[in-house]
Amino acid sequence: MSTTRELMAELRARMGCADPLPSPPQVPDISPPPARIFPTATTRNGYAEAASQHTTAMVGIGSVGTRYATDVVLQFQAEMAVAREAVAADLPPDWAASHGLLPLQSRVNDHREFLLRPDLGRRLCDDSLARLRAQADKDVDIQPILADGLSAVACMGSGLELLATFTRECETRGWRVGTPMCAKYARVWLADEIGQEVRARVAAILLGERPGLGTGDGLSAYLVYEPRIGKTDGDRNMMSNIHARGTPPTQAAGRLALLAGAMVDQRRSGVTLDLAPLASELGEAAGLGYREPQPRERLVEVSP
């Protein structure tokens, strides 16, 4: 008899309940597990699978039983890491000047404040405002502004190419383009103050957009006619997903120049701008059909 049973028997005897404990039940035979457990086969919705051929978004990824497949989960985690890294990136202090751009900065003091205080990213600090007034060309037709926005990675990557090609597209149309500049800790509305100070007809801010899954290098462009403090989002026109896997910078530059030209001709921008005359020049961007199949770049490979 085990020590535990001896102690229990002694305790029962002291309490006047010395009936013997029942015998433990017999353990049933348990069959051994199989050598390999096969999960439920991966299933994909036919419509979602067809739609996934026209976008790099995570559409039609299928499932294994009630869960995502392992490779899908790993791919998601890798793409989320790319987005987080892009948001956390900071534009080096001397980057703009080293690339021949007029360096500007908003009223934000550091990266954390930039994420928490969007309002401070919409106005220039005093030093930058004085530098802009002293060094920037005035009375220009187009004022392009490169900015970090929510992805300094995009600004330092394809930002220079977009700025250069957009500037060339504007100059070939005979427009006077303003001083090339780069704004740190910038939000979209910062273009209003800059454009107002240089008296530009159109201000175009080219900034890193909010990263998506696996896309930390995307740029967005926002254009506004007769920029001035107080303009609203309804006064702007924009183009997003400017990167190698979306709209390439060289192609985007031509479309942005067309957009700026429409603003100059119609003397307005935003929701009141008529884009119908540009349909033939914009091509598929003006249509409503499916775009060409887009290959999705895999960041993780899982061996079978």
- Is residue 231 in some structural domain? yes
CATH number at residue 153: 3.40.50.11240
Please check whether residue 60 lies inside any domain of the structure. no
Three-class SS of the chain: CCHHHHHHHHHHHHCCCCCCCCCCCCCCCCCCCCCCCCCCCEECCHHHHHHHHHCCCCCCCCEECCECCHHHHHHHHHHHHHHHHHHHCCCCCCHHHHCCCEEEEECCCCHHHHHHCHHHHHCECHHHHHHHHHHCCCCCCEEEEEECCCCHHHHHCCHHHHHHHHHHHHHHCCCCECCCEEEECCCCCHHHHHHHHHCCCEEEEEEECCCECCECCCEEEEEEECCCCCCCHHHEEEEEEECCCCECHHHHHHHHHHHHHHHHHHCCCHHHCCCHHHHHHHHHHHCCCCCCCCCCCCCCCCCC
What is the C-alpha to C-alpha distance for residues 159 and 243, in angstroms, rounded to an integer? 9
CA–CA separation, 178 and 164 (whole Å): 12
Cβ 150 vs Cβ 83: under 8 Å? no
Q: Is 55 inside any structural domain?
A: no
| 64 in any annotated domain | no
Angle ∠(241,242,244) on CA atoms, nearest 5:
105
- How far apart CA 242 and CA 207 sit, in angstroms, is 10
Residue burial 38-52, b: 16+ Cβ < 10 Å; e: rest: eeeeeeeeeeeeeeb
Is position 13 within any domain?
Answer: no
- What is the pLDDT confidence band of residue 107, given thresholds at 50, 70 and 90? very high
Say what the pLDDT of residue 226 is. Answer: 96
In a domain, 223, yes or no: yes
Single out the residue of 221, 67, 212, 83 nearest to residue 158, CA to CA.
Answer: 221
Count of domains forming the chain:
1
Which tens digits make up the pLDDT trace of 122-178?
999 999 999 999 999 999 999 999 999 999 999 998 999 999 999 999 999 999 999
For residues 88-114, give the mean pLDDT.
Answer: 94
Specify if 11 maps to a domain.
no
Count CB neighbours of 108 within 10 A: 23
Q: What is the pLDDT of residues 171-204, one digit of tens each?
A: 999 999 999 999 999 999 999 999 999 999 999 9
Main-chain phi, psi angles of 303, to 5 degrees: -75, 145
User: What is the phi-psi region of residue 16: left when phi exceeds 0, alpha when psi lies from -120 to 50, beta otherwise?
Assistant: left
Residues present in the chain in total: 304
| pLDDT tens-digit map of 252-295 | 999 999 999 999 999 999 999 988 888 777 766 655 566 666 66
Domain assignment present for 126: yes
> Tens of pLDDT along 5-48?
788 778 877 776 666 667 778 888 888 776 665 555 556 677 77
- Show the domain range for 256: 94-274
